[in-house]
């Protein structure tokens, strides 16, 4: 059926393009989840199913029936509709799950359970199913009752193999998925250690091993956790984060060493483990070796070191934001790899294409801006100013009177009505004033001096020029 036809029949139909690769990827991630949670041996079955080998794990979840219910409930919560059949052989389970529904086949009973199911449930090819149908064989029970020698001659070994696999006469090995293992290196001690020097020594032994393990995988660590197992069972943790993936043992050791004082050895430490909590691919990088000058070292190591000391949140860069309100014209950005503004390609018929002038920087270079901005504008007292657009003659800020000698302005800033409803009509008139001592301040008056809705004509000091 064509999509348009389907749309015509069902209004509001949700149509999405098929995504087999995406489906397979999410099925694989589900298999990895199952392998971590329920059974060590999980295999993909086609593009819509999973095999879980429950041998020896069902009792951990309170028996097979309870486990099946548990899995169905958990998958339902994640948004999957699942059907589970449990049988002795993968073939029987496959058939029961797809052609029977939820079902728990008792041990050794698969022949009887499968007898009533149609032949496609055996995972045999369509030509064989068609031929069997013409011979009057619809059910697996009928097929199993046929003499084997003519069956093999007529349909080939594959059909008989599938039948035997389903009934448990031939083993069917599964190809399990292997969940990716997180990298960890561990050092146990014959005698518990308790001194900072000993911990430092062993961290120095562990970091090269960790670096080697990371190099094998082609990874660089982004978050590292060092766990020191204490004798009394209270683990001591050191967590470090790195701004960029790194696997330089000296750098890792330097970061860890700063935090050794956080470890309380108590009666002694049995073992130290370094766990990689987050890693990212780190390939070889080109080295620019210039002869005429020494290359400046990478900033990333400094950022890591400082972040370990003062925290990641205490370091930032500033980037420009397009906004007329001074306090909103800048935003914090991460220290490393500042995101370059994605150059959205304008459409072919975009009107803005006609504008050939260079884009203006949000911080206009010609309008003087203060060196420091107050966290929030501070109200001024005893302001004498002429309306509507003259700078103040005198004002008092923080209890000190200032007499204005020179002034520039007004620079009118309209409220950003498209961002905040409260600023729909508000206006600020900014003035740059200089007092009798040559001190320069950035003042503004709320309101344009003509219409009362734009502001109450109160004066504020917002920033200070040098």
Partner 1 sequence: MADPAVLKQLRESLKGLETGGFRRRPALPFGIPAIDSRLADEGLRLDALHEVAAGTSDMADDCAATLFLAGIAARAWGPVLWVVRRRDLFAPGLAQSGLDPKRLIYAEAKDDAELLAVMEEGLRHRGLGAVIGEAKRADMTATRRLQLAAEGGRTIALLMKRAAREGSDPIAMPSAAVTRWRVTCAPSTPLPVAGVGRPRWKLALARQKGGEGFETIVEACDATGRCALPPVMADRKAVAGGTAPRRAA
Q: List interacting residues with partner 1 (CB under 8 A).
A: 287, 289, 291-293, 296-299, 301-303, 305-306, 309-310, 314-320, 326, 329-330, 335, 338, 363, 365, 368-375, 405-408, 432-434, 436-441, 463-466
How many angstroms separate the CA atoms of 187 and 273, rounded? 6
Least Cβ distance, residue 326 to partner 1 (angstroms): 8
Q: Of the two residues 147 and 466, which places its CB atom closer to partner 1 in the complex?
A: 466
Number of other CB atoms surrounding residue 295 within 10 Å: 9
Is the C-alpha dihedral spanning 365, 370, 371, 373 positive or negative? negative
Q: Of the two residues 175 and 437, which places its CB atom closer to partner 1 in the complex?
A: 437
Minimal CA–CA distance to 252: which of 221, 279, 280, 287?
Answer: 221
Least Cβ distance, residue 466 to partner 1 (angstroms): 4
Least Cβ distance, residue 390 to partner 1 (angstroms): 10
How many angstroms separate the CA atoms of 466 and 373, rounded? 12
Minimal CA–CA distance to 253: which of 204, 185, 197?
Answer: 204
The three-class DSSP label of residue 267 is coil
How many angstroms separate the CA atoms of 143 and 135, rounded? 10
Query: How long, in residues, is the chain?
Result: 466
Q: Of the two residues 347 and 361, which places its CB atom closer to partner 1 in the complex?
A: 361
Least Cβ distance, residue 238 to partner 1 (angstroms): 19
Least Cβ distance, residue 374 to partner 1 (angstroms): 7
Residue 41 and residue 176 in contact, taking contact as beta carbons nearer than 8 Å: yes
The three-class DSSP label of residue 433 is strand
Q: Of the two residues 51 and 395, which places its CB atom closer to partner 1 in the complex?
A: 395
Least Cβ distance, residue 260 to partner 1 (angstroms): 17
Nearest 5°: CA angle at 360, between 354 and 361? 150
Q: Of the two residues 354 and 360, which places its CB atom closer to partner 1 in the complex?
A: 360
Q: Of the two residues 432 and 445, which places its CB atom closer to partner 1 in the complex?
A: 432
Q: Of the two residues 310 and 452, which places its CB atom closer to partner 1 in the complex?
A: 310
Q: Of the two residues 201 and 439, which places its CB atom closer to partner 1 in the complex?
A: 439
The three-class DSSP label of residue 162 is helix
Number of other CB atoms surrounding residue 354 within 10 Å: 6
Helix (H) or strand (E) holding 183: none
Least Cβ distance, residue 334 to partner 1 (angstroms): 10
Least Cβ distance, residue 330 to partner 1 (angstroms): 5
How many angstroms separate the CA atoms of 407 and 111, rounded? 98
């Amino acid at each position: 059926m064509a999509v348009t036809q389907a749309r015509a029949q069902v209004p509001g139909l949700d149509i999405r393009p098929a995504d087999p690769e995406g489906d397979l990827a999410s099925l694989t991630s589900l298999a990895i989840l199952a392998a971590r949670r329920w059974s060590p041996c999980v295999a993909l079955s086609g593009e819509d199913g999973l095999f879980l080998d429950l041998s020896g794990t069902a009792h951990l979840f309170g028996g097979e029936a309870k486990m099946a219910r548990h899995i169905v409930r958990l998958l339902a919560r994640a948004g999957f509709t699942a059907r589970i059949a449990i049988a002795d052989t993968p073939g029987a389970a496959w058939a029961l799950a797809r052609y029977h529904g939820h079902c728990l086949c008792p041990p050794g009973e698969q022949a009887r359970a499968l007898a009533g199911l149609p032949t496609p449930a055996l995972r045999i090819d369509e030509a064989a199913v068609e031929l069997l149908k013409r011979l009057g064989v619809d059910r697996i029970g009928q097929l199993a009752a046929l003499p084997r020698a003519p069956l093999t001659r007529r349909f080939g070994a594959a059909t008989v193999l599938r039948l035997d696999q389903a009934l448990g006469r031939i083993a069917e090995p599964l190809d399990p998925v292997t969940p990716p293992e997180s990298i960890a290196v561990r050092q146990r001690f014959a005698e518990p250690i308790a001194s900072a020097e000993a911990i430092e020594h062993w961290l120095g032994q562990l970091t090269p091993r960790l670096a080697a393990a990371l190099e094998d995988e082609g990874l660089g660590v982004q978050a590292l956790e060092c766990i020191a197992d204490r004798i009394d069972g209270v683990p001591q943790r050191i967590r470090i984060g790195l701004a960029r993936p790194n696997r330089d043992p000296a750098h890792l050791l330097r970061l860890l060493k700063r935090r050794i004082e956080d470890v309380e050895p108590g009666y002694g430490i049995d073992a130290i483990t370094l766990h990689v909590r987050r890693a990212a691919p780190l390939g070889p990088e080109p080295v620019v070796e210039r002869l005429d000058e020494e290359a400046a070292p990478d900033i990333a190591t400094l950022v890591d070191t400082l972040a370990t000391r003062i925290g990641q949140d205490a370091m930032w860069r500033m980037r420009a934001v397009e906004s007329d309100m001074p306090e909103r014209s800048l935003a914090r950005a991460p220290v490393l790899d500042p995101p370059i503004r994605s150059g959205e390609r304008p459409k072919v018929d975009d009107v803005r294409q006609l504008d050939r002038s260079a884009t203006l920087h949000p911080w206009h270079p010609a309008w003087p801006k203060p060196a420091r901005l107050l966290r929030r504008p501070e109200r001024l007292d005893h302001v004498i100013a002429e309306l509507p657009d003259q700078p103040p003659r005198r004002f008092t800020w923080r209890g000190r009177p200032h007499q204005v000698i020179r002034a520039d302005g007004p620079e009118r800033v309209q409220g950003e009505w498209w961002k905040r409803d409260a600023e729909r009509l508000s206006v600020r008139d900014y003035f740059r004033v200089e007092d009798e001592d040559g001190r320069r301040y950035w003042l503004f008056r709320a309101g344009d001096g003509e219409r009362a809705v734009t502001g109450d004509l109160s004066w504020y000091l917002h920033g200070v020029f040098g």
